[in-house]
């Protein structure tokens, strides 16, 4: 079947786009991916999404978005888009089982995943002191001690944000310098309660029922190697994100970090009829509310395109 619009990605951006298209009676299919819900499913309480005065469980929030989309008539399938041909309209997507879907417009809302170090302990303490989003979870560490891993702009921004809440913030940096811009480094330097631990790698976490500290190694692999434990309550990853764009096979313009480039202050991409919404096109904001807003914009942009096509 040919749809007016194919939405790829089951997170706040994708579900919001589906709600708008369904309510406009545009035939649309949302292919939500193998792990519907996206990053919200890995967070606990969300207190910064307006409309929930007492906060809302991240999983419930995204499940509600999905249910809302279904209630207004959206078609949703739990499947993965393996590849897509954007060279001609209608566009043709190939799903994991080999079946194909065609559509006159496409909204890419596949998100980005925070990178982790790959330690077993990160999984063990997921939601129990390990986080990859200071804006989401920092509030739970008021007057506590936290560590941020990474030395880039994100790490500095997260450390700075956390320094307003936590009593002490350590930055665990594997090199002897910060990669972040001078401006971000300056913001970190101005905070008395941020301490940068250079030349340090995390090799494990410890704690009964939650993070109580990190096992660190200074000068790993050298004659000066030194192992020590850092008592902390929260361990924040800020070593970059990976936007999910591999299935596009380079057909849509991305920036040097792999994020889809949008143009003309809209969600339009380098390919006419293809729109991008949420974290896959946005390295800067990475918030559920921003992604939902993007989903709305992408649906409206797609409708305008379809009405003019």
> Is 5 annotated in the active site?
no
Nearer to ligand NDP, 200 or 298 (CB): 200
Name the β-bridge partners of 265: none
Catalytic option among 5, 104, 121, 133: 133
Bridge partners of 230?
214
Total binding residues toward ligand NDP, as defined by CB under 6 A = 16
Task: By CB under 6 A, tell whether 38 contacts ligand NDP.
Answer: no
Six-digit token string for 201: 């790698």
Q: Widest CA span of the chain, in angstroms? A: 67
Stretch that binds ligand NDP, among 83-91, 138-146, 147-155, 227-235 (CB under 6 A): 147-155
Residue 151 contacts ligand NDP per CB under 6 A: yes
For residues 239 and 51, give the distance between their C-alpha atoms in angstroms, rounded to a whole number: 31
CB of 301 to ligand NDP, least distance (A): 24
Give the one residue of 257, 272, 304, 309 binding ligand NDP; rule: CB under 6 A. Answer: 257
Catalytic residue, chosen from 5, 136, 156, 200, is 136
Establish how many alpha carbons lie within 13 A of residue 248's alpha carbon, considering only the half-sphere containing its beta carbon: 25
Instruction: Output 87 or 222, the one with its CB closest to ligand NDP.
Output: 222
Which tokens sit at 87?
Answer: 């060279």
Which residue number has the CB closest to ligand NDP? 152
Q: Quote the CA–CA distance of 158 and 154 in Å, as a whole number.
A: 6
Among 104, 122, 137, 157, binds ligand NDP (CB under 6 A): 157
Helix (H), strand (E) at residue 249: none
Instruction: Identify which of residues 10 and 150 has a Cβ nearer to ligand NDP in the complex.
Output: 150
Cβ atoms 188, 174 nearer than 8 A: no
Site for ligand NDP contains 155 (CB under 6 A) = yes
Packing angle, helices 12-23 and 58-71, rounded to 10: 20
One of 55, 90, 204, 240 touching ligand NDP (CB under 6 A) = 240
86 binds ligand NDP (CB under 6 A): no
Pairing of strands 91-95, 81-85: antiparallel
Which of 272, 283, 275, 278 is closest to 299 using CA atoms? 275
* Interaction mask 173-192, ligand NDP, x per CB under 6 A: -xx---x-------------
Catalytic residues: 133, 136-137
């Amino acid at each position: 079947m040919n749809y007016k619009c194919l939405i790829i990605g089951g997170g706040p951006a994708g579900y919001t786009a589906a709600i708008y298209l369904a309510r406009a009676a545009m035939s649309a299919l949302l292919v939500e991916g193998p792990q519907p819900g996206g990053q919200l499913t890995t967070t606990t309480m969300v207190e910064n999404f307006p409309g929930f005065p007492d906060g809302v469980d991240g999983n419930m929030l995204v499940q509600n978005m999905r249910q809302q989309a279904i209630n207004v008539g959206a078609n949703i399938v739990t499947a993965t888009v393996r590849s897509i041909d954007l060279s001609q309209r209608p566009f043709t997507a190939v799903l994991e089982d080999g079946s194909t879907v065609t559509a006159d417009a496409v909204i890419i809302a596949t998100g980005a995943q925070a990178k982790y170090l790959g330690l077993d302990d990160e999984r063990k303490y997921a939601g129990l002191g390990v986080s990859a989003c200071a804006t989401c979870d920092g509030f739970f560490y008021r007057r506590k001690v936290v560590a941020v891993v990474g030395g880039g702009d994100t790490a500095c921004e997260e450390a700075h944000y956390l320094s307003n809440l936590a009593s002490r913030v350590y930055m665990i940096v594997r090199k002897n310098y910060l990669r972040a811009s001078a401006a971000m480094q300056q913001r970190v330097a101005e905070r008395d309660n941020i301490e940068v631990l250079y030349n340090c790698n995390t090799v494990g976490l410890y704690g009964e029922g939650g993070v109580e500290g990190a096992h660190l190694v200074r000068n790993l692999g050298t004659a000066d190697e030194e192992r020590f434990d850092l008592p902390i309550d929260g361990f924040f990853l800020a070593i970059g994100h990976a936007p999910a764009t591999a299935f596009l096979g380079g057909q849509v313009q991305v920036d040097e970090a792999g994020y889809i480039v949008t143009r003309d202050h809209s969600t339009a991409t380098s390919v006419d009829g293809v729109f991008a919404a949420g974290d896959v096109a946005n390295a800067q904001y990475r918030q559920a509310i921003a992604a939902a807003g993007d989903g709305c914009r992408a649906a409206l942009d797609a409708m305008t395109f379809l009405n003019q096509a």
